[in-house]
């Protein structure tokens, strides 16, 4: 596995170059270093040669004996260096080549001239050298690097050499550097097998460049070669463009027709851009929200992309050294987006953030929505911290139970009804979660006493919803029923939703036998027996409508009741 340096994060500063870059850490180029690199293809290559040559302090091959301990330093073992190919950590002290020697990535036999400790140019350029185990260096000899689809450890593959998975991208970028910075020496990368001052194979180097992006070790190494602060005695004041801007490779070494398009979900727009929103409003103290986001790749060509979090967003992947390999149409890569905990520490806090994915390819010939024409893809959120909801039967206080008395009705005279209302009362004004209410259970006389309650979803703070309780007039009796409703914070719209107190509704009422017009004796039949009963009760005080003998319900028992019985005779009661 590659060893990584721990890098401190700095501010974000825009740099105007052929492709915009975020000045994100200690190993980035200084502002303006590549200001002249604005072209594509051969023009860009010429511009990069100029950028990497301007102010270049050439170092001698012999200087590398004392420089390697600085630029190839093992981040885990002070004083040690990491060797190329096998990545073994050894002492950085020079012992005349017994422990390690100086490997020309571009073999000295494939360069003009012969090497000695005073050699400069590519022969002495630390960007083109690596420390190596002497026997591995010898076994590699002057073989070109090739077989771009190879994976695994280092070693010879016939006439080619494979540098191993840990170094294949690093080696490719060293060759790109030499081919660009030292083109004046006649160095060139070719396909298939090189001759003279050529190296190869180019196709494999391009493939490895996307399979093995620059890691922190390689980026620090590039900066340490350049920087007077890290390397006061042997700094060169020049850098490798292909480590700083790996997105330049396709345009310089392949073509201007890169077909890559990235998106984060859904159908991308015509310009290749896409957008997705994540996260919900949340309760104070709820577990941290996170979401795994897939970056989907369309197109076969390789590309580098930047992942840039902003605002209150956090991301497990950041920066510009991310790549999709060649032939990766339909592939995807994932990262996890989160929220800075400090932004959601109190009720009423609102956290907003974005993570932008930028396809860094600089070619435009592929058409709309691909390569440099691929619009940015954005994952965004806006989250407010809320207090819990509070269900109640009253609007101004927390009332968790209520009695609805439907009174007394006569049988057959129509159902009795009464209303009740459920409220979401404010707990923290302006920041109270929505309320869900669900039926839990009913007990007692639930056949006679019913409600039209329906599930409440996301009832807003201060909102209410009314319902009706009904008593059927079909059956005589005294009735009582109890209904229980469960309350929750908005279970779909609020992260960390919790259950609240249950609401209990009690409904009571009575159905009695009603008075039947014309039924003087109360046997629920209108017949001649009612006339006899009126005659029996004739002249007796009544005191209230519907008393015994009062067939017409006028509160008296008299001859009018006989007439009314005769009028109703034969009618159903």
Smallest Cα–Cα separation from 169: which of 234, 221, 94? Answer: 221
**Would you state the pLDDT for residue 346?**
98
Q: Residue 70 — φ and ψ, nearest 5°? A: -90, -50
Work out whether the CA dihedral 387, 393, 398, 402 comes out positive or negative. negative
For residue 13, give both structure tokens.
Answer: 């500063």
Bridge pairing between strands 494-495 and 281-283? parallel
Length of the chain: 573
Inform me whether the pLDDT recorded for 255 exceeds 50: yes
Q: Backbone dihedral region of 490: left (phi > 0), alpha (psi from -120 to 50 degrees) or beta?
A: beta
Q: Confidence band (pLDDT; 50, 70, 90) for 562?
A: confident
pLDDT attached to residue 148 = 79
More confident residue, 380 or 545: 380
* Cα 322 from Cα 394, distance rounded (Å): 57
Residues facing residue 544 across a β-bridge: none
- What's residue 543's pLDDT? 65
Q: What confidence score (pLDDT) does residue 527 get?
A: 86
* pLDDT tens per residue across span 374-396: 999 999 999 999 999 999 999 98
Instruction: Say how far apart CA 290 and CA 314 lie, in whole Å.
Output: 9
Cis check for the bond before 333: say yes or no (omega within 30 of 0): no
- Give the pLDDT of residue 53: 98
Encode 371-404: b = buried (16+ Cβ within 10 Å), e = exposed.
bbbbbbbbbbbebbbbbbbbbbbeeeeeebebeb
Residue 363: other Cβ atoms inside 10 A: 23
Q: Which helix (H) or strand (E) holds 560?
A: helix 559-568
User: What does the alpha-carbon distance between residue 355 and residue 370 come to, in Å, rounded to a whole number?
Assistant: 20
Q: For 114-127, what is the mean pLDDT? A: 98
Say how far apart CA 295 and CA 332 lie, in whole Å: 5
SS (H, E, C) 408-468: EEECCCCCEEEEEEEEECCCCCCCECCEEEEEEEEEECCCCEEECCCCEEEECCCCEEEEE
User: What is the per-residue pLDDT across 60-91, written as a single tens digit (0 to 9) for each?
Assistant: 999 999 999 999 999 999 999 999 999 999 99
192, containing H or E segment: none
**Confidence label for 563 from pLDDT (cuts 50, 70 and 90):** confident
Q: Work out the number of other CB atoms within 10 angstroms of the CB of residue 410.
A: 13
Please check whether residue 169 is in contact with residue 151, taking contact to mean a CB–CB distance below 8 angstroms. no
Q: Are 82 and 170 contacting, i.e. CB atoms less than 8 angstroms apart?
A: no
Beta strands (DSSP E) in 105-195 are 129-132, 155-157, 160-162, 188-189
51, 52, 230, 237, 417 from 56: Cα distances, Å: 9, 7, 16, 5, 93
d(CA 474, CA 476): 7
Structure tokens at 129: 């050298």
- For the stretch 392-408, pLDDT in tens is 999 989 999 999 999 99
pLDDT by residue (tens digit) across 458-508?
999 999 999 999 999 999 999 999 999 999 999 999 999 999 999 999 999
Assign 573 a pLDDT band (cuts: 50, 70, 90): low
Q: What is the largest CA-CA distance in the chain?
A: 146
Q: Contact at 8 Å (CB) between 439 and 453?
A: yes
Structural tokens at position 411: 């049988």
Task: Name which residue leads in pLDDT, 255 or 517.
Answer: 255
Categorize the per-residue pLDDT at 546 as very low, low, confident or very high, splitting at 50, 70 and 90.
low
DSSP state of 324: E
Q: What average pLDDT does range 277-289 have in this prediction?
A: 97
pLDDT of 522 reads 74
Is-contact 353 380, C-beta < 8 A? yes
* Residue 381 token pair: 């959120």
Residue with tokens 């049988």: 411
423 cis-preceded (ω within 30 degrees of 0): no
539 alpha-carbon distance from chain centroid: 90
Short-list 263, 243, 361, CA closest to 303: 361
Q: What is the dihedral of CA 554, 559, 565, 567, to 10 degrees?
A: -100
Higher-pLDDT residue of 539, 171: 171
Place of tokens 């398009």: 261
Share of residues in the chain with pLDDT > 70 (%): 94
pLDDT at 5: 36
Domains of the chain from N-terminus onward: 14-253 (no CATH), 261-386 (2.60.40.2310), 391-512 (2.60.40.10), 528-568 (no CATH)
- DSSP state letter for 521: S
The CA-CA-CA angle for residues 42, 47, 48, to 5°, reads 95
Q: What confidence tens digit (pLDDT) does each residue in 1-49 have?
A: 444 332 322 222 233 333 334 445 899 999 999 999 999 999 999 999 9
Strands 89-91 and 101-104, bridge-based pairing? unpaired
252 burial level (CB within 10 Å; 0-12, 13-18, 19+): buried
Mean pLDDT, rounded, for 226-242: 98
**pLDDT band for position 528 (cuts 50, 70, 90):** confident
| Tokens 């909801």 belong to residue | 389
Q: Is 48 helix (H, G, I), strand (E, B) or coil?
A: helix
pLDDT at 4: 38
pTM comes to 0.82
Whether residue 393 contacts residue 399, with contact meaning beta carbons closer than 8 Å, is answered with yes
């Amino acid at each position: 596995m590659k060893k990584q340096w721990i890098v401190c994060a700095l501010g974000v500063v825009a740099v105007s170059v052929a492709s915009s870059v975020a000045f994100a850490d200690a190993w980035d180029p200084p502002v303006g270093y590549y200001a002249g690199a604005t072209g594509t293809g051969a023009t860009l290559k010429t511009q990069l040669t100029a950028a990497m040559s301007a102010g270049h302090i050439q170092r001698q091959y012999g200087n590398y004996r004392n420089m390697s301990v600085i630029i190839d330093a093992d981040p885990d073992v002070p004083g040690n260096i990491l060797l190329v190919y096998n990545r073994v950590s050894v002492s950085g002290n020079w012992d005349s080549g017994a422990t390690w020697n100086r490997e020309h990535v571009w073999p000295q036999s494939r360069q003009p001239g012969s090497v000695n400790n005073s050699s400069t140019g590519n022969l002495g350029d630390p960007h083109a050298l690596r420390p190596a185990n002497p026997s591995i260096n010898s076994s590699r000899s002057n073989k070109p690097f090739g077989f771009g689809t190879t994976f695994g450890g280092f070693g010879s593959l016939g006439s080619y050499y494979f540098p191993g998975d840990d170094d294949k991208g690093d080696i490719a970028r060293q060759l790109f550097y030499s081919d660009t910075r030292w083109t004046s020496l006649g160095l060139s990368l070719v396909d298939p097998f090189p001759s003279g001052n050529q190296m190869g194979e180019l196709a494999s180097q391009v493939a490895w460049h996307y399979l093995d992006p620059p890691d922190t070790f390689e980026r620090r190494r590039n900066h340490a070669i350049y920087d007077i602060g890290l390397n006061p005695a042997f700094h060169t004041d020049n850098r490798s463009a292909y480590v700083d801007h790996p997105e330049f490779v396709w345009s310089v070494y392949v073509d201007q027709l890169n077909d890559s398009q990235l998106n984060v979900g859904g159908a991308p727009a015509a310009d290749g851009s896409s957008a997705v929103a994540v996260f919900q409003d949340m309760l104070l103290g709820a577990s941290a929200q996170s979401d795994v986001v897939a970056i989907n790749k369309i197109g076969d060509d390789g590309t580098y992309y930047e992942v840039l979090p902003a605002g209150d967003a956090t991301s497990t992947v950041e920066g510009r050294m991310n790549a999709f390999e060649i032939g990766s149409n339909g592939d995807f890569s994932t990262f996890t987006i989160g929220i800075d905990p400090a932004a959601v520490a109190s009720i009423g806090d609102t956290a907003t953030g974005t993570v932008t994915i930028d396809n860094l390819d600089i070619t435009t010939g592929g058409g709309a929505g691909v390569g440099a024409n691929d619009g940015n893809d954005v994952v965004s959120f806006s989250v407010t911290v809320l207090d819990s909801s509070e269900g109640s039967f009253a609007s101004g206080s927390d009332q968790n139970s209520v009695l609805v008395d439907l009174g007394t009705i006569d049988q057959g005279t129509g159902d009795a009804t009464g209303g009740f209302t459920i409220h979401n009362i404010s707990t923290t004004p302006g920041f109270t979660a929505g309320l869900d209410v669900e039926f839990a259970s009913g007990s007692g006389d639930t056949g006679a006493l019913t409600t039209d309650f329906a599930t409440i979803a996301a009832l807003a703070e201060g909102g209410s919803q009314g319902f009706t309780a009904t008593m059927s007039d079909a059956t005589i009796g005294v009735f009582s029923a109890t209904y229980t409703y469960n309350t929750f914070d908005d279970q779909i719209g609020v992260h960390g939703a919790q259950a609240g107190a249950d609401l209990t509704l009690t409904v009571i009422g009575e159905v009695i036998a009603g008075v039947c017009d014309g039924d003087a004796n109360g046997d629920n039949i209108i017949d001649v027996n009612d006339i006899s009963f009126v005659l029996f009760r004739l002249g007796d005080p009544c005191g209230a409508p519907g008393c015994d003998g009062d067939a017409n319900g006028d509160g008296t028992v008299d001859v009018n009741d006989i007439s009314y019985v005769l009028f109703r005779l034969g009618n159903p009661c």
